[in-house]
Amino acid sequence: MPIHVQVHADKQAASGAVAARIRDLILLRQHEGRPAVLGLATGSTPLPLYAELIRLHRDTGLSFRNVITFNLDEYEGLSGDRPESYRHFMEVNLFRHLDLRPGATHVPDGTATDQDQACRAYEDAIRQAGGLDLQVLGIGRTGHIGFNEPPSARESRTRRVHLDEVTRRDNAGFFRQPEDVPHGALTMGVATIMDARQVELLAFGSAKAEIIRRTLHETPHAGCPATWLQAHPRSEEHTSELQSRQYLVCRLLLEKKT
């Protein structure tokens, strides 16, 4: 899977480029008569992307009737009607503004009594939908993608994980009190993400510069799960451009030659 790094002028430009790829994918799949399967992320990073998808739907008539979505993760113990849950986040920031079919959106069930079974069923549902066409990713400062905290194996699949304290602190702003942030989550695994036909990782701001540097330069290892996204060494041109930037706006693109 060749990796490309594109540095954009600002968040809007980077998000617009990803939105355009999603639009093209939806139109292609529509033409082929099969659904487009999107992997989606939460956090502040994808918000401009979701705003742009809503705009494309509203202003250009782009339809999401033919789209199936799978979110990366959900907090353990939070039902979808809780305002801090990722299901709620997605409803408010994207789903309710589009013409998705009922049942077309999937978020892991943080309240499942049998978590292992819920995780297996999530993997099965992705497979039955035809696999992820395009996975949107942000990145956590621990190097997590989804909630694949260090250490996360390359072969990991959807499962229950324990959240790093750095991550709990970073995400505390979405909760009433820092101690309300759950200690666990259900997340797609690294292998689930790597099976996607395209991956678009967005990273904005100086707080992400160091983890992007590590993602690109460290030999892939479980201690920095985002490094698994590497396939081969990137060009010097790209890496030097990234190193020279204080405020980072970048996209990492991975595409399978299928």
HSE, CB side, 13 Å, CA atoms: give it for residue 107. Answer: 22
Q: Which residue number, 36 or 161, has a Cβ lying nearer to ligand GLP?
A: 161
Nearest approach, Cβ of residue 44 and ligand GLP (Å):
4
Does residue 73 belong to the site contacting ligand GLP (CB under 6 A)?
Answer: yes
* The only residue of 66, 135, 158, 167 in contact with ligand GLP, by rule CB under 6 A: 167
Q: Which residue number, 45 or 156, has a Cβ lying nearer to ligand GLP?
A: 45
Q: Strand 67-71 relative to strand 3-7: parallel, antiparallel, unpaired?
A: unpaired
205-211 long-range contacts, Cβ below 8 Å, gap at least 24?
Answer: 205/247, 205/248, 205/249, 206/246, 206/247, 206/248, 207/141, 208/139, 208/141, 208/248, 209/242, 209/245, 209/246, 209/247, 209/248, 210/141, 211/139, 211/140, 211/141, 211/142, 211/143
Number of residues that bind ligand GLP (CB under 6 A): 14
Show contacts with ligand GLP in window 131-150 (CB under 6 A): 138-140, 146-147
Q: Which residue number, 14 or 139, has a Cβ lying nearer to ligand GLP?
A: 139
Does residue 215 belong to the site contacting ligand GLP (CB under 6 A)?
Answer: no
State the Cα angle at 175 between 122 and 93, rounded to 5°. Answer: 60
Does residue 69 belong to the site contacting ligand GLP (CB under 6 A)?
Answer: no
Does residue 45 belong to the site contacting ligand GLP (CB under 6 A)?
Answer: yes
Can you give the binding site for ligand GLP, defined by CB under 6 A? 41-45, 72-73, 138-140, 146-147, 167, 171
